[in-house]
Amino acid sequence: MHEEALLQHIYARSKDIAGDVLVGPGDDCSVVRIGSAQVLLTTDQLVEHRHFAADLPIDRIAHKAVARSVSDIAAMGGAPSCALATACLPNGYLHADALFDAMHRAAAAMQCPLVGGDIAIHDGPIVLTVTAIGTPHPTRGPVLRTGARPGDQVWVTGKLGGSLASGRHAAFTPRVTEAQRLCDQLGEDLHAMIDLSDGAGRDSGRIASASGCAIELDETALPMHAGVTDWRCALGDGEDYELLFTTAPSVQVASVKATPIGCCVPGEGCWLINRAGARHDVTTLGWNHGA
**How would residue 25 be classed by pLDDT, with cut points 50, 70 and 90?**
confident
**How would residue 152 be classed by pLDDT, with cut points 50, 70 and 90?**
very high
Would you say 14 and 2 are in contact if contact means Cβ atoms under 8 Å apart?
no
Q: Taking 60 as the threshold, does the pLDDT of residue 178 lie above it?
A: yes
**How would residue 19 be classed by pLDDT, with cut points 50, 70 and 90?**
confident
- Cα–Cα dist 233/162, whole Å: 7
Would you say 222 and 260 are in contact if contact means Cβ atoms under 8 Å apart?
no
- CATH number of 153-281, picked from 3.90.650.10, 3.40.50.360, 3.40.50.280, 3.40.1190.20: 3.90.650.10
Type of residue numbered 37: A
pLDDT of residue 287: 80
Question: For the chain, what's the residue count?
Answer: 291
Q: What is the average per-residue pLDDT within 44-49?
A: 96
- Cα–Cα dist 29/227, whole Å: 33
CA nearest to 228, candidates 177, 163, 142 = 163
Q: Is 161 left (phi over 0), alpha (psi -120 to 50) or beta?
A: left
Q: pLDDT digits over 280-290, tens only?
A: 999 999 986 55
- Residue ranges covered by each domain of the chain: 3-135, 153-281
- Rounded to two decimals, what is the model's pTM? 0.93
pLDDT of residue 5: 64
Q: 19-28, 55-64, 126-135: which range is least confident on average? A: 19-28
**How would residue 168 be classed by pLDDT, with cut points 50, 70 and 90?**
very high
Report the DSSP pairing between strands 279-281 and 243-247. unpaired
Q: Taking 60 as the threshold, does the pLDDT of residue 9 lie above it?
A: no
The highest-level CATH class for domain 3-135 is alpha beta
Helix, strand, or coil here: 250? coil
Terminal-to-terminal C-alpha distance of the chain: 8
Would you say 130 and 43 are in contact if contact means Cβ atoms under 8 Å apart?
yes
- Cα–Cα dist 4/35, whole Å: 34
Q: 12-16, 75-79, 92-96: which range is least confident on average? A: 12-16
- Cα–Cα dist 258/157, whole Å: 4
In CATH terms, are 3-135 and 153-281 the same topology? no
**How would residue 199 be classed by pLDDT, with cut points 50, 70 and 90?**
very high
Would you say 205 and 268 are in contact if contact means Cβ atoms under 8 Å apart?
no
Q: pLDDT digits over 95-120, tens only?
A: 999 999 999 999 999 999 999 999 99
Please classify residue 232 by burial: count the beta carbons closer than 10 Å to its beta carbon, then call 0-12 exposed, 13-18 middle and 19+ buried.
Answer: middle
